[in-house]
Amino acid sequence: MAYVPILKGKAGEFLALGHASPEVQAQIRPVMEIVPDFELRDLLETFFGHAMENVPSGMVLTVDCGALPSVRVLEGDVGGPVARVGESLLLRGVAMCPVFRRTDTDDVLAEVAGAAAAHRQGACLRISTALDLSGRPPDREQTSDLLRAVQLGPEEIDLLIDAGPVRSGRTRETLAEGTAEALIKLSRWPWRHLCVAAGAFPVNLTGFPRGTATPVARGDARFWREVVEKWRGEQPDFGDFGVTYPRILPKSRGTPDPNMRYTTAAEWQVFVYPRLQTGNDDFFTLSQDLVNSPYWPATGAATSWGDARLHECAQRKRSKAGGRHGVARLGNLPPSSRGYVSFDCYGTSVGLMTRPGDHENCRCEDVLNTWGTLRRRSATSSSCLAYIREGSRLAVVKGTLNAAP
């Protein structure tokens, strides 16, 4: 059985994915949802950068553009978000499996077909059985139409049944029955993978007591077991939404109190602390309390990369607590630090750079001012990418930052 985390495609989620151990990487099939923002083009550029810097080599990233508007991303060019994401991740060497739904338009399904053909990693059909949505599973004819539209067979498609928010009692029982019925209805197709996902984390932390840990039951895990008992077919993979509410919510205003959502076997232990110190320093105290609590694992800091960071905070071995690790950008280097960048052709789109192996030598500031964005793969690596545009045309080149002579 694989674990399918459905994550919001932001910096923290990508950072955690990039630091997953090889053993964990081999057992997960991550789904990244692109969360809408005001500037679609900037949002996608940020997403591409996070993916390039953090997705482990060889991992296939399932990408869901369903919350984004179906509009052109580049002025004067055709294609919406799915087409642009598929093209850009391919140029950056990140394997993609696009998500599609029964309710998608013909144009979106055509873009899914194009992305799937380019990446050769199949696609993911996401079906909702959630009680807060008015969706229903596709019937046999509709499923056949969907498969023809994306030009794939069922053995090339991951079926993701999304039950949405899970509540307790009779509501969960009703949801489990509906999800099991959807499994039975769709089981006639030989899907590549089958997953049932749900989320039980609260909408927000309003009302949680401050200065202590509050247990929150893993209702999503219990729901999954109930569905499996009703289904009695091949055991589906387990999916959840991590320590976030399943729905994409509007941006909250203000600064939240320091908090930690720590996963244990049957519960989340939610620490929410009052803001008493400057910056994020309250997180030092929170980390110390977590490490000294009965919820801290016997393996301690060796449990995972995230646990190691918490242990560092508890011992005040980090200069700052909480927050997210930043990625160095060449554009922020002082002028005296700028050097030369030697480029080799990495990928092309509509012929801006025509021959693999073309070379360009130019100053870093020339690339930034004339061509567009320049980004390192990591803060400790000298390798970098430049995203080059002329109107609607796009190319990506890779190179090495060299010291200025």
What is the CATH number for 162? 3.20.20.70
Rounded to the nearest 10°, the torsion over CA 258, 283, 52, 337 is: 120
Number of Cβ within 10 Å of residue 164's Cβ equals: 20
Asked whether residue 334 is domain-assigned, the answer is yes
Asked whether residue 83 is domain-assigned, the answer is yes
Tell me, yes or no, whether 232 and 337 share the same domain: no
Q: Is 67 in contact with 99 (CB distance < 8 Å)?
A: no
Tell me, yes or no, whether 12 and 157 share the same domain: yes
Query: pLDDT by residue (tens digit) across 152-181?
Result: 999 999 999 999 999 877 889 999 999 999
| Assigned token pair, 122 | 């199949």
Domain limits for position 240: 3-206+215-251
Q: CA separation (Å) from 63 to 165, 309, 320, 351, 387?
A: 20, 28, 32, 26, 21
Residue whose pair of structure tokens reads 């005296």 in the numeric block: 336
> Angle CA(354)–CA(41)–CA(72) in degrees, nearest 5?
80
Q: Please, which residues bridge with residue 125 across strands?
A: 100, 159
Q: Count Cβ neighbours within 10 Å for each residue of 14-23 and write b for 16 or more, e otherwise.
A: bbbbbbbeee
Query: pLDDT by residue (tens digit) across 369-382?
Result: 333 333 333 333 34
Asked whether residue 142 is domain-assigned, the answer is yes
Domain termination site, one of 194, 225, 251: 251
Residue whose pair of structure tokens reads 């960048």 in the numeric block: 341
Asked whether residue 370 is domain-assigned, the answer is yes
Residue whose pair of structure tokens reads 């399918």 in the numeric block: 4
Tell me, yes or no, whether 339 and 223 share the same domain: no
Asked whether residue 261 is domain-assigned, the answer is no
Q: What is the pTM of this model?
A: 0.79
Domain termination site, one of 251, 274, 308: 251
Asked whether residue 292 is domain-assigned, the answer is no
| Assigned token pair, 155 | 């053995």
Tell me, yes or no, whether 226 and 343 share the same domain: no
CB contact set of 260 (below 8 Å; sequence gap of 6+): 270, 271, 283, 286, 287, 290, 310
Asked whether residue 300 is domain-assigned, the answer is no
Counting the structural domains of the chain, the total is: 2
Q: Rounded to an integer, what distance in angstroms lies between the CA atom of residue 18 and that of residue 113?
A: 28
Tell me, yes or no, whether 245 and 366 share the same domain: no
Q: Is 404 in contact with 338 (CB distance < 8 Å)?
A: yes
Low-confidence ranges of the chain (pLDDT < 50): 76, 323-405
Q: Is 266 in contact with 305 (CB distance < 8 Å)?
A: no
- Smallest Cα–Cα separation from 325: which of 18, 36, 94? 18
Tell me, yes or no, whether 241 and 382 share the same domain: no
Tell me, yes or no, whether 193 and 338 share the same domain: no
Q: Provide the residue count of the chain.
A: 405
Asked whether residue 314 is domain-assigned, the answer is no
pLDDT value for 125: 98
pLDDT value for 368: 32
pLDDT value for 346: 32
